[in-house]
Structure 1
Amino acid sequence: MAYRVIPVTPFEQNCTLFWCTETKEAAVVDPGGDLQKIMAAIEEEGVTLTKILLTHGHIDHAGASATLAKSMDVKIIGPQQADLFWIEGLEQQSQMFGFQQVQGFVPDQWLNDGDTVMVGNITLDVIHCPGHTPGHVVFVDRKAKIAQVGDVLFKASIGRTDFPQGDHATLISSIKEKLFPLGDDIRFIPGHGPESTFGDERLTNPFVADRWG
């Protein structure tokens, strides 16, 4: 498994292109915008895009999904269906946050806790991690020990919970009960900012470190 992080949108969202090194089949996680940058990365890496994966329905993560899916003839997979209201409201989000108008869509497949997604020979485990949004999911490649966590967890921080249907206690539970048990050596790509490991966050993150209970 190999990957390339592509910062997109004015929010510097970490869109991730990752691929199976054996088959060169690839997926894009959270194409929020700047479609030309994403398309250029696909071409530069010489991979074949086979699917789009969404962690949640906020515009900086999902805004370019429909256009990319149409141009590359691939399906949009995820998030969990509780985020439908966010996806249905993408046009309103674009106005609220000053984005260009985006093309609406309905995912081709919703995901649930315990599902798996294949990208070439890579198996991704799907973990439903609500709190930032109710339908947020995380993708974990257990073999490579890499997780795509969207806006659940960041280096030294956690996701916002002041948006509609966000919940702080639920987010903390998702992190401590669903992510940290996966192992301290799991490296994660967050939706914004630098990568880290679950172990480092258990030790130092002021919101979820073990010493804070």
Structure 2
Amino acid sequence: MQASLSLEIVPVTAFGQNCSILWSPATRHAVVVDPGGDVSRIMAFITEKDLTVEAIWLTHGHLDHAGGADALRRELTARQEQAVPVIGPERADEPLLSSIPQQAALFGLTGLESVRPDRFVTHGETLEALGHHFEVRHVPGHTPGHVVFYDPAARFAFVGDTLFRGGVGRTDFPYGDHDQLVAAIRAQLLPLGDDVTILPGHGPATTIGAERTGNPYLA
């Protein structure tokens, strides 16, 4: 992580999902990645640091990553008195984003909302935020429209539920595909370079190099 940016991980939902708040200490501008729930906890940090959120980014459409996005958008828009857009993932995850209460009910959870992004992203495009450029990479298999946000200058990526320390994302869903996920990790993540830090949706950060050599799913 370059000194020009700061990062806070806020664990949210019963799944302990890593909601990431990335901000510039110089400008106090921020982006929020995967606000799955516990919006009051996210807002408390934003308020404490007096941050202005430019956008909310979603890696994919699962409840624990997107279930708080609509509520956070409303609260931030009211606080900042200007619209705060929800951006991503790829459009293939739209059915998941529109059925979050149904997903939550399967786990006995309430208070999570469906969300319609202000726009979906596509593989290969670049998002500009906080004076940095983030490449959007499509890494399907966990969900059809899952994306990763990669900053080549700062050498880190928000990878959602694609690659973890010692593991990969679940694929035991009707729309999951383990072979597709591993192939996409090999094609879209491993070439980034061994020094790149990956920030997953659950658990600790790791590096591409550590997973290339030590992850049993990539052996």
* TM bracket, shorter-chain basis: over 0.9
What is residue 68 of structure 1 aligned with on the other side?
72
What is residue 77 of structure 1 aligned with on the other side?
87
The list of structure 1 runs, each at least 4 consecutive aligned residues, that deviate by more than 4 angstroms after superposition, is none
- Show structure 2 runs of 5+ residues with no match: 78-83
Q: How does 1:1-213 map to 2 (within 5 A)?
A: 1-73=5-77, 74-208=84-218, 212=219
Give, in angstroms, the shift of residue 45 of structure 1: 2.5
Paired-residue identity, %:
46
- Quick one: which amino acid aligns to residue 208 of structure 2? F
- Quick one: which amino acid aligns to residue 83 of structure 1? D
Mapped contact 1:23–1:121 kept (Cα < 8 A): no
What CA distance in whole angstroms lies between the structure 1 residues aligned with 2:124 and 2:27? 25
What CA distance in whole angstroms lies between the structure 2 residues aligned with 1:114 and 1:204? 28
What CA distance in whole angstroms lies between the structure 1 residues aligned with 2:21 and 2:120? 20
Q: Secondary structure at the match of 2:102?
A: helix
Give, in angstroms, the shift of residue 104 of structure 1: 2.5
- Quick one: which amino acid aligns to residue 28 of structure 1? V
Give, in angstroms, the shift of residue 99 of structure 1: 1.7
Give, in angstroms, the shift of residue 46 of structure 1: 2.6
What CA distance in whole angstroms lies between the structure 2 residues aligned with 1:18 and 1:161? 28
Mapped contact 2:30–2:54 kept (Cα < 8 A): yes
What CA distance in whole angstroms lies between the structure 2 residues aligned with 1:3 and 1:90? 27
Give, in angstroms, the shift of residue 174 of structure 1: 1.1
- Show structure 1 runs of 5+ residues with no match: none
Number of aligned residue pairs: 209
Mapped contact 1:83–1:136 kept (Cα < 8 A): yes
- Quick one: which amino acid aligns to residue 8 of structure 1? V
Give, in angstroms, the shift of residue 87 of structure 1: 0.8
Mapped contact 1:95–1:101 kept (Cα < 8 A): no
The Cα RMSD (Å) is: 1.0
Give, in angstroms, the shift of residue 103 of structure 1: 2.8
- TM-score (ref. length: structure 1): 0.95
Q: Secondary structure at the match of 1:123?
A: strand
- Quick one: which amino acid aligns to residue 39 of structure 2? L
Give, in angstroms, the shift of residue 97 of structure 1: 1.6
